[in-house]
Amino acid sequence: MSFVDEKNRLFNRKLDSPVKLHAQIDGKDYDYTLSISDDKTGYTGTGTPLNTEIFSTFIPAKEMLSISNITRIDERFDKELAMDTSLLNIIKKAQSMKLSKPPQIALNIAPKLESIIDGTVFVKENDNTFWIRKTTGEEILFAMEAEGVRKFALLWQLLMNGSLAKGTVLFWDEPEANVNPKLIPVIADILMELARHGVQVFLATHEYNLMKCFSIKKKDSDNISFISLYKQAGSVVCEIEDDYNLLEHNAIVEANTQLLEADIEGVF
More confident site: 23 or 104: 104
pLDDT 10s digits, 75-93: 455 555 566 777 888 998 9
Range in 20-34, 169-183, 222-236 with the lowest mean pLDDT: 20-34
Distance between CA 119 and CA 99 in Å, rounded?
18
Burial class of 157 by CB neighbour count within 10 A (0 to 12, 13 to 18, 19+): buried
Task: Output 142-146 pairs: Cβ under 8 A, ≥24 positions apart.
Answer: 142/65, 142/66, 142/68, 143/66, 143/67, 145/66, 145/117, 146/178
Distance between CA 159 and CA 172 in Å, rounded?
15
Q: What average pLDDT score do residues 45-70 get?
A: 83
Distance between CA 128 and CA 157 in Å, rounded?
14
Q: At residue 5, does pLDDT exceed 50?
A: no
Range in 22-26, 139-143, 182-186 with the lowest mean pLDDT: 22-26
Q: At residue 53, does pLDDT exceed 90?
A: no
Q: How many CB atoms lie within 10 A of CB 204?
A: 12
pLDDT 10s digits, 175-231: 999 999 999 999 999 999 999 999 999 999 999 899 999 989 999 899 999 999 988
Distance between CA 193 and CA 119 in Å, rounded?
21
Among the listed residues 170, 225, 179, 226, the one whose alpha carbon sits nearest the alpha carbon of residue 202: 170
Question: 1 pLDDT band (50/70/90 cuts)?
Answer: very low
**pTM for the whole structure:** 0.82
Q: What is the pLDDT of residue 134?
A: 97
Range in 2-11, 60-69, 138-147 with the lowest mean pLDDT: 2-11
Burial class of 217 by CB neighbour count within 10 A (0 to 12, 13 to 18, 19+): middle
